[in-house]
Amino acid sequence: MTALVEVRDLAKTFDVSAPWLNRVIERKPKLFVHAVDGVSFSIDKGTTLALVGESGCGKSTVARLLVGLYAPTRGDVQFDGQATHAGRNAAELRTLRRRMQMIFQDPYASLNPRWKVLDIIGEPLREHGLVPGAEALRARVSELLLQVGLAAADCDKFPHQFSGGQRQRISIARALATQPEFLVCDEPTSALDVSVQAQVLNIMKDLQRTQGLTYLFISHNLAVVRHVADRVGVMYLGRLVEVAPKAELFSRPRHPYTRMLLDAIPDIHMTGRSRTPVQGEVPNPLNPPSGCAFHPRCPHANARCSSERPVLTRFQGTEVACHAVQEGRI
Amino acid sequence: MVAPLLEVKHLRVEFPTRRGTLLALDDINFEIAPGEILGVVGESGAGKSLTGAAIIGLLEPPGRIASGEILLGGRRIDNLPYEEMRKIRGRQIGAIFQDPLTSLNPLYTIGRQLTETILTHLPVSAEEARQRAIRLLQETGIPAAEQRIDQYPHQFSGGMRQRVVIALALAAEPKLIVADEPTTALDVSIQAQIISLLKRLCKDHGAAVMLVTHDMGVIAETCDRVAVLYAGRVAEIGPVGDVIHRPSHPYTSGLMGSIPAMDEDRERLLQIDGSMPRLNNIPRGCAFNPRCPQVMARCREERPELQDAGATRAACWLVNDGARPI
């Protein structure tokens, strides 16, 4: 299998300094948040990579970097062998971007309330000049609506006439309009109820099977990730701490943070699995801990962990960034 | 059988609007025993938060209790005057809401908010109240409680704030706590901490809990019994193990099947087509009939009442005299 998307040492820094005058008068320094700090991974064609982590770990920033909504501070993204950021002119970028689309978390905020569904789904088609006329546009939009389980007659409705789950289907239809190969889904079901979430997840899986789509699926819900993903990457404070095939990650998690996340999931089947609620909270990303960012919460941390930052290295078929795992301490 | 702490009988909540009256809760019945944790689960719009709001007497106008009774320790509390209800709220019923930032006053230190609650409800001196507040904060696992008591809510993280809110709810030693989605705004690792804290503290203080949530995992871990709400009615109620593993109502089984499981692989999730009806458009007969895979002619005409179905009680025509056909 070939990698469709390849990300190398991707980083994004946001300037969160006080305004210039405050810095001068109050002698405040410039402040930067390293939202994503050197992330590398690749996604094979037709598979799903899921990124999980808690709020503020940088998973949504990765999504936005990939589709080009942010420009990276460092590193690059290769899509089908071509760089998506460095040294590209506008026309080339347009052709590349037709092939990747994004689905956002909140179906209430991502659809223009003043536009009809026809215009919403038709926008990417018109923008990329993919259909010849109004007739063809309507036909294509109807076809897309049917694909996601809505009716062709829904073309002339406004977003407020739909429920949350139906709106998310409209977002999916819009993302599919340009016949992309790669979809970036940023928490596509977290705003939905469970029964509706099941409908949307089923549609996404069906589409992947029939159209050979590649997904980057971002979520904080490990049960959902386990259902959709082929491989899973776990992020903590802007870095990947573990990347592993799904079965491996859920049956034998290596990194202490992954273990902690898995332990924290409420067990619906009450198998009596013992749980150890983890102590502590995610540190302030403005001032991350030295060495391994997880060491203040880690039960296996030692002196090396607090001084030297572990790098993501291959370990028995998975990739882990942990001194304790590599030294064989756990 | 101990006398129930809370009894909700035939509770009906309406919202009068210009286009007619909307029936948000219709004939809700349940009880909570002292020290018991009852989960109330359902999808958005099922009426679970409204049930909590009706019990603590904080229904937002124009919502009103149209009929039915709410009894706390045998005493009717749904028709009390405002001032009377204020004395019960906090003293006998504590409340925990979803967003810890909006349930604390940002202008007061948390110490002031805690002591205010204690002084309002309990006959103690200001110094005792402060000591009590520090003890409560220590119990909820806030480090350096003596110093942090004089800080403001914005100086606490989300998880810490929710601990303060729990301390606040327990401040006057209430017998019942209504917790409305207490962990929804928190990250998974923090959620586990808060749930185990809530469970432990309520056990220590002997408080019963009505836990409103949409997360079946939280329910499974925490509750003794669970009530499943659908379109303003109780679809099924019973011991948590039976409802989860041997549901009698097709909606409950659909709900369980649609949750991705951690311990089995399925290509497709079970899916309930359609979505919950809007309040102005609740179908005749059983409200679930348009989405039900086992719908019969009778379901479209007559509304089923809760009846015994093995260990649980379900409102479904498939359940007849204790026999379980599904």
Residue bearing tokens 């709106």: A167
Q: Which long-range contacts (CB under 8 A, 24 or more apart) does A275-280 make?
A: A275/B192, A275/B196, A277/B189, A277/B192, A277/B193, A277/B196, A278/B189, A278/B192, A278/B193, A279/B193
Percent of chain A residues topping a pLDDT of 90: 48
Give the pLDDT confidence of A11-62 residue by residue, as tens digits: 999 988 888 898 899 888 888 889 999 999 999 999 999 999 888 888 989 9
Residue B302 within a domain: yes
Classify residue B150 by its DSSP letter: T
> Would an 8 Å CB–CB cutoff place B264 in contact with chain A?
no
Run of H or E including A209 = helix A194-211
Structure tokens at A147: 């694909």
pLDDT in the model for residue B324: 47
A contacts of B261 (beta carbons < 8 Å): 223, 268-269
Q: B261–A223: do the CB atoms touch at under 8 Å? A: yes
Is the peptide bond preceding residue B62 cis, with omega within 30 degrees of 0? yes
Judgement on whether residues B288 and B186 belong to the same structural domain of the protein: no
Q: What is the pTM of this model?
A: 0.83
Of the three residues B188, B223, B258, the one that is the final residue of a domain is B223
Query: Is A3-99+180-326 a domain of CATH 2.40.240.10?
Result: no
Distance between CA atoms of residues B136 and B146, nearest Å:
11
Judgement on whether residues B181 and B295 belong to the same structural domain of the protein: no
B contacts of A108 (beta carbons < 8 Å): none
Judgement on whether residues B267 and B306 belong to the same structural domain of the protein: yes
Structure tokens at A86: 């460095």
Judgement on whether residues B41 and B107 belong to the same structural domain of the protein: yes
Percent of chain B residues topping a pLDDT of 90: 44
Cα B79 to Cα B9, B28, B49, B62: the distances in Å are 13, 17, 19, 16
pLDDT in the model for residue B142: 87
> Would an 8 Å CB–CB cutoff place B155 in contact with chain A?
no
Q: Is residue B323 pLDDT above 70, yes or no?
A: no
Distance between CA atoms of residues A183 and A45, nearest Å:
11
Nearest CA in chain B to A164: B275
Per the structure, the count of domains in chain B is: 2
Average pLDDT over residues A68-96: 83
Q: Is residue B22 pLDDT above 70, yes or no?
A: yes
Exposed e or buried b per residue across B29-54, where buried means at least 16 C-beta atoms within 10 angstroms of its C-beta: bbbbbebbbbbbbbbebbbbbbbbbb
Residue B289 within a domain: yes
pLDDT in the model for residue A270: 55
Judgement on whether residues B153 and B274 belong to the same structural domain of the protein: no
Give the pLDDT confidence of A164-196 residue by residue, as tens digits: 888 999 999 999 999 999 999 998 988 888 888
Rounded to the nearest integer, the mean pLDDT of chain B is 88
Mark out the alpha helices in chain B (DSSP H runs): 48-55, 82-88, 110-121, 126-139, 145-148, 158-170, 188-205, 216-222, 240-245, 250-257, 297-301
A contacts of B215 (beta carbons < 8 Å): 266
A:193-212 residues touching chain B, CB 8 A cutoff = 193-199, 201-202, 205
Judgement on whether residues B198 and B292 belong to the same structural domain of the protein: no
Domain that holds residue B271: 248-314
Judgement on whether residues B183 and B134 belong to the same structural domain of the protein: yes
**CB-facing half-sphere around the CA of B138: CA atoms within 13 A:** 9
Judgement on whether residues B263 and B149 belong to the same structural domain of the protein: no
Q: Residue B131's Cα: distance from chain center in Å?
A: 31
Nearest CA in chain A to B46: A193
Residue B125 within a domain: yes
Q: A278–B44: do the CB atoms touch at under 8 Å? A: no
Percent of chain A residues topping a pLDDT of 70: 95
Q: Is residue B322 pLDDT above 60, yes or no?
A: no
Average pLDDT over residues A236-259: 92
Which residues neighbour A293 within 8 Å (Cβ) at sequence distance 6 or greater?
A: A236, A237, A238, A239, A283, A309
Question: Which region among A133-147, A207-221, B56-70, B189-203 has the lowest average model confidence (pLDDT)?
Answer: B189-203
Q: B260–A261: do the CB atoms touch at under 8 Å? A: no
Give the pLDDT confidence of B58-93 residue by residue, as tens digits: 888 888 999 999 999 989 998 889 899 988 988 899
CATH number, residue B66: 3.40.50.300
Beta-strand (E) ranges in B5-89?
6-17, 20-32, 37-41, 64-72, 75-76
Residue B232 within a domain: no
> Would an 8 Å CB–CB cutoff place A106 in contact with chain B?
no
Instruction: Give the three-class secondary structure for B24.
Output: strand
Judgement on whether residues B73 and B165 belong to the same structural domain of the protein: yes
Judgement on whether residues B194 and B48 belong to the same structural domain of the protein: yes
Judgement on whether residues B114 and B186 belong to the same structural domain of the protein: yes
Of the three residues B190, B223, B256, the one that is the final residue of a domain is B223
Q: Is residue B158 pLDDT above 70, yes or no?
A: yes
Interface probe, candidates B44, B48, B188, chain A, greatest A C-beta count within 10 A: B188
Q: B218–A223: do the CB atoms touch at under 8 Å? A: no
Judgement on whether residues B22 and B110 belong to the same structural domain of the protein: yes
Question: Radius of gyration (Cα) for chain B, nearest Å?
Answer: 21
